[in-house]
Structure 1
């Protein structure tokens, strides 16, 4: 028989399921994991059962008792041999793990029934081998583990829940147009893999209506149909485990009132949907009526974009000139700023010199004032002195009288004392000479003093004018000094302003550079705008037609929503609550299903001190 290789997806599916099965039991001191390998005939009948058992613990197992109904028990990974006493199997293992196998005659919890048809007639794989036509394979799974449970004080027949995965592999060279009633189908061109998951017996346990059963997809039967060009027995493998995933979706907090409230919300949502569709209809009608105005505006926009583009072109052409002018302004302001600095320094030097000159002239002005006062005093003194000279001239007459008296005395002495008379006459002559010399000198002095008085008068008048002019000049000089200080302060402010102006001009240059670049980009953008508005103008008419269609469509939508509400949601709300009772059974039996799943933890037997798990792997013997 030719060997059929499983595709990667099929291997991954089975491997994932096996990993899931191996994680089904809780942590315990000693655990027992059974894998029941079943060889099936083509029709699903059991040919052989081999049970592989793994007992493990965190510590060495040592001496312990196991319970098992297997025959031909064999240690497959050690030399230890069991001591069997009925169903009790005693071991002494100096390791943490024990692996053994054995045969079983016990009935399987899942019964497999496989039927084959070719061209509408039931047949066997042996008779169908090598033939062509329309084929049909039906894999029917039945749960054999029935229990009687108490539900609300009443007895109810339920089944131990088993999650099963059926994998069927068909070679694509021999099978075509493959279809399935349930599950997943994957075709890689070489093989066609069918994976079918089911819970046999669950629908009987939960006792739900046909509608809910279909919704939950509680299918126990896999049907594969298609065409075969040369029938070959496909590879069929079935795995089963009582270990169920957590039923988190159906916990103790789940109530039918939740579903009833959901239906009520659904009804309200239908009302809101109808109102919303009405508003949508009104809004679309308004949009449709107003879009014509928009379309007219788009056409105006198209014309305006051309005008904008023309203006942008002019701006783009002018920006280089503006940029060049800004650079010239910046250059001139740089030179002005440099000259202004020199001017400010010159003003400071001028003000300094003026201050020094003003301080020096202050002394000159004081000297002029003093000279003017002296000239006035001299004039007064000379005038007074001229009067004294006249008195002195007048006093020379007294000397002349004395000389005359001496001559008179000398005359009287000529006879008696001629010598004394001669001396007296000599004295008289000397006095006359002195008097005359005094008169002559004083006359000259008087004449000189007159000239001096005249000169002193002129000097006093001149110094008076000079003093008056000096005072005026001194006052103006002071104003000049004050003006120089103001000029120095102003020149500094002017220098600062010129510097700021130069900095601003540099920023202006940078700005015009950016403006120039921006103008170029704006030119490109203007062209894009023109192109876009043209396209917008072209599409606006199409969009106007679309708004007309949208208004018509929203009207159809409103009619459809109205029909959905009246014929669908309202009916669902009315009938929905009556259907909720169909799933009451699921809520009632959930805990019992979980309990049955946990209780079925072995196939061949288990000691009460162990925690266990079991899985079944069934394969058709090709």
Structure 2
């Protein structure tokens, strides 16, 4: 069996420890047999395996002891001694004062466990929905198998051996959320939801209780767990059962059920007065709620008006603050302006004088520009005339070419004339001279043409430059005339500016005197507005507090009216459906309680008689408890620990005992 999941703080070990501490105390030399039945359950609650751990203890060395056991595969857990087995008779020879052994059994358990699962409203096998998501429902039902027939006051009745069961279901928060249960408690540590459920299977059937009493006592045998699974995984389910932990024998004849009847009668009579008072209370609270609602409307109107007034005062305060700041800034600025007006007026006078001097000086510049423009015009005309002369000079080179051509013609003619040999030298000399003259003339004409062409090109550039200069001087002359005229206007305006600056200085002084008066008046206004702001804030705070408290009172009166009506309705229902029916001389519920103590005595008897599971020898005192757990396929069984329950883990069981006793003693 897997013990790793069972923490020392869990209700299962608490209950198991509580049961273990209930070992019967006997006299010297008596043997006590304590059995713990460990059952591994399938996912539907069916038993897969039963392993029984047995502890036999004496007050001294055990020696040879006779035991009875229906277990198989018996194994000594704390020694080397081996038993002699003859059917269900077992003989041990033990040198210690206690003996631990374990065995296996397929005998039916006293408590049947039935576990069902539903996913999204459909019945499912948990193996088929591993890892799935949806709305999950788990139903764990417990059924008592130990029915006994007893005689109570001369009547045969069927009652069950009283087993108290404690169920714990550990659900991991990573896989489930929004857990709800029909009974029991849910504890959440942030990692797991730990559900604990205590029940008494067969108890209500043994007492044959009315359904109303069953519901009143919350005697449920079925635990229903509902929630949302995001990645389904089988939860760990533990169940502990014991027949020896109820202290039923403390409920005896001194428990006066007749007192319960008398109390119910008085309660019924008091219910009439309670109902009348609840009605008066409901009517009065309803009237209070209506009247106070009208008062609350007036409070809301007052608070809204105070809010509007306070908002206006705040705007006035903000405006006054800005006005004060502006008046002070204006006065300070005018003071500075007034102080600087003298310097400004002096600067304007200096500026006016300088403008006059510049205007007069520029008159000479304007005259010079006009003269330069006129000279440029004449220069351009001269350059254009020189260019015309160059064209005539260039034409004269053509005449030189004509002279050279005529000389060449003469040379050809002379060359054709036949002369005597003694004159041939003269002829050649003349021809040579003629050729030199002709060649010289050609060179002169060519050089003259080239020079004149270059001179003509330079004259063209000069004429273009002269034309550009003339155009620029024309524009400069025109701009200078306009500038000179505007300069004259500026000179006149500076005189007007000088006169205006004198008047501005006088006006600034007058405005500054007025700003000082304004600043003083605004300061007085600010003080008054500050006082008004404080008063408005106090008023608004008071009305807001009144409104908030009024809301609470309205809510309170409404809740009081609603609650008093619900109280009246509940009181009426309690009287008519509860007290009147509960106290009825012929009421079956009251009659059923009459035999409860007698049935209890029989339950005590059969509870003490159920002292073993695997068998017990005559003369031994026995005690048995059952521990059941669903399978965990991810861990290994730890069978060697099944028979050992720590003696140091004993806990007080008074809470459970007290709860059970209250079922009878109320």
TM-score, length-normalised on structure 2? 0.50
Distance 2:258 2:174 in 1: 55
Partner of 1:399: none
Question: Shift of residue 111 of structure 1?
Answer: 1.3
Is the partner of 2:10 in helix, strand or coil?
Answer: helix
Partner of 2:582: 576
> How do residues 82-93 of structure 1 correspond to structure 2 at under 5 angstroms?
82-93=83-94
Distance 2:232 2:163 in 1: 32
Distance 1:571 1:133 in 2: 40
Distance 1:553 1:248 in 2: 48
Contact persistence 1:70–1:103 (CA under 8 A): yes
> What's the CA shift string for 1:326-355, capped at 9, x where partnerless?
xxxxxxxxxxxxxxxxxxxxxxxxxxxxxx
Distance 2:191 2:554 in 1: 53
| Unmatched 5+ stretches in structure 2 | 286-544, 633-666
More deviation in 566-575 or 158-167? 566-575
> What's the CA shift string for 1:424-480, capped at 9, x where partnerless?
xxxxxxxxxxxxxxxxxxxxxxxxxxxxxxxxxxxxxxxxxxxxxxxxxxxxxxxxx
Distance 2:563 2:11 in 1: 45
User: Which of 591, 596, 613 is residue 603 of structure 1 equivalent to?
Assistant: 613
Distance 2:174 2:611 in 1: 42
Partner of 1:13: 11
Contact persistence 1:186–1:194 (CA under 8 A): yes
Contact persistence 2:171–2:194 (CA under 8 A): yes
Which structure has more RCO (C-alpha within 8 Å, separation ≥ 6)?
Answer: 2
Structure 1 residues 172 and 280: CA distance shift in structure 2, 3 A: closer
Question: Shift of residue 62 of structure 1?
Answer: 1.5
User: Which of 596, 604, 607 is residue 594 of structure 1 equivalent to?
Assistant: 604
Is the partner of 2:140 in helix, strand or coil?
Answer: strand
Contact persistence 2:120–2:136 (CA under 8 A): yes
Distance 1:124 1:102 in 2: 31
Distance 1:152 1:76 in 2: 48
> How do residues 202-241 of structure 1 correspond to structure 2 at under 5 angstroms?
202-241=203-242
Question: Shift of residue 224 of structure 1?
Answer: 1.3
2:617 aligned with 1:619? no
Question: Shift of residue 50 of structure 1?
Answer: 0.9
Question: Shift of residue 218 of structure 1?
Answer: 1.7
Contact persistence 1:235–1:620 (CA under 8 A): yes
Partner of 1:247: 248
Distance 2:592 2:274 in 1: 29
Contact persistence 2:23–2:34 (CA under 8 A): no
Is the partner of 1:166 in helix, strand or coil?
Answer: strand
Partner of 1:190: 191
Q: What CA RMSD, in Å, does the superposition of the two structures yield over aligned residues? A: 3.8
Structure 1 residues 4 and 194: CA distance shift in structure 2, 3 A: farther
Partner of 1:122: 123
Question: Shift of residue 46 of structure 1?
Answer: 1.3
Distance 1:99 1:4 in 2: 19
Larger Rg: 1
Number of matched pairs: 371
Question: Shift of residue 269 of structure 1?
Answer: 3.8
Question: Shift of residue 190 of structure 1?
Answer: 0.9
Structure 1 residues 121 and 547: CA distance shift in structure 2, 3 A: closer
Question: Shift of residue 613 of structure 1?
Answer: 0.5
Partner of 1:369: none
Partner of 2:50: 49
Question: Shift of residue 23 of structure 1?
Answer: 2.7
Distance 1:620 1:553 in 2: 49
> How do residues 417-496 of structure 1 correspond to structure 2 at under 5 angstroms?
none
Structure 1 residues 239 and 568: CA distance shift in structure 2, 3 A: closer
Question: Shift of residue 253 of structure 1?
Answer: 2.2
Distance 1:557 1:51 in 2: 57
Distance 1:549 1:42 in 2: 52
Structure 1 residues 546 and 154: CA distance shift in structure 2, 3 A: same
Structure 1 residues 233 and 192: CA distance shift in structure 2, 3 A: same
Question: Shift of residue 79 of structure 1?
Answer: 1.4
Structure 1 residues 129 and 87: CA distance shift in structure 2, 3 A: same
TM-score, length-normalised on structure 1? 0.53
Question: Shift of residue 209 of structure 1?
Answer: 1.2
Distance 1:553 1:70 in 2: 66
